[in-house]
Amino acid sequence: MTEHHLPSQLEVSPEAPDRNLALELVRVTEAGAMASGRWVGRGDKNGADGAAVKAMRSLVHTVSMNGIVVIGEGEKDEAPMLFNGERVGDGTGPECDVAVDPVDGTTLTAKGMANAVSVLAVAERGTMFDPSAVFYMDKLVTGPDAAEFVDITAPPGVNIRRIAKAKKSSPEDVTVVVLDRPRHEGIVKEIREAGARIKFISDGDVAGAIMAARESTGVDLLLGVGGTPEGIIAACAIKCLGGTIQAKLWPKDDEERQRALDAGHDLDQVLETDDLVSGDNVFFVATGITDGDLLRGVRYRAETATTQSLVMRSKSGTIRQIDSTHRLAKLRAYASVDFERPS
């Protein structure tokens, strides 16, 4: 296990989440990753997601917190487990907002592609942005070196040149991660005209954002439209890593636009990190499902599985990378989760 401590001036109130919570939370994403990892490459993204949801729900109720799912699998009528509004935790700990994405990259998992992760974030109650009005948002993410120089309202070429200057490099050295979607044709053209490199991802918006903010990933910037829930989860990670996420709500049609206006949203407003998650004591955990730029995927042997996880806390600025070996028989007995191969 490796640790990296960053300077932090954040304070926490006595009723805020306890500092040991992160190491409880990582058991939840490890369970999700090991359960969904059995479905890698099987072409069934719903099977992978369902296995992760079941495993994570079983484990999350053992965590010492009084949590409410703010970002989950959807409303109760559509998602019977980890639905928006569900209470999670054992009820004895602090009051928390919980954001969970059992499989960030269901298609990646189904196709055996890189960068699928299981993700969980926790912050003080009432601090996470409500994503219900608009499903998509336009996003910009970069790390601490260039955070104060970027502006989502500026053209991509301007931001690329600003990042290059902040990092004492050239635009040709900058790498931008972009979801591979037809809607991004214009952005892709502008990035290429600026001379920067592009790393396309087919899914996995949260992992892409973390790559853009974290050192030594080879990625400097994330641009483009992705999911609003994923943007809020990414903001929790940015709180821990440093850097910035900037976003603007992106209604996909007139009906969604009107719903956002009726909910009181200003569609011209630039939402920054603190707008997406205002808490000062945020926990973020992710466990790799498939091998990727961020984390190694689950490895299975006859009686064991190995996982690699990222565990972060904003108050302390601590970033842990945890390599774990799990004895599957003991996990099944303790957690009542079936980690056997899918039928």
Q: Is 172 within any annotated ligand binding site?
A: no
User: Residues 6 or more apart from 192 whose CB is under 8 A from it?
Assistant: 198
DSSP 3-state of 224: strand
Q: Which of 267, 217, 220, 266 is nearest to 244 (CA)?
A: 220
Which letter does DSSP use for residue 246 in this model? E
Q: Is 293 within any annotated ligand binding site?
A: no
Question: Which residue's entry shows tokens 């336009």?
Answer: 138
Q: Which of 36, 30, 35, 92 is nearest to 61 (CA)?
A: 92
CB 105 within 8 Å of CB 48: no
Q: Is 227 within any annotated ligand binding site?
A: yes
Q: Is 215 within any annotated ligand binding site?
A: no
CA geometry: angle 64, 305, 328, nearest 5 deg: 65
Q: Is 242 within any annotated ligand binding site?
A: no
CB 75 within 8 Å of CB 83: yes
Q: Helices in 183-313 by DSSP H: which ranges?
A: 185-193, 205-213, 228-241, 254-262, 273-276
Q: Is 101 within any annotated ligand binding site?
A: yes
Q: Is 334 within any annotated ligand binding site?
A: no
Q: How far apart are CA 254 and CA 245, in angstroms?
A: 26
DSSP 3-state of 203: coil
Dump the DSSP string for 281-301: S-EEEEEESS--SS----EE-
Q: How far apart are CA 244 and CA 242, in angstroms?
A: 7
Q: How far apart are CA 26 and CA 120, in angstroms?
A: 8
User: Residues 6 or more apart from 92 whose CB is under 8 A from it?
Assistant: 64, 66
Q: Is 105 within any annotated ligand binding site?
A: yes
Q: Is 181 within any annotated ligand binding site?
A: yes
> Residues annotated as binding site for Mn(2+)?
49, 73, 101, 104, 230
> Residues annotated as binding site?
49, 73, 101, 104-106, 136, 181-183, 203-205, 227, 230
> Residues annotated as binding site for substrate?
104-106, 136, 181-183, 203-205, 227
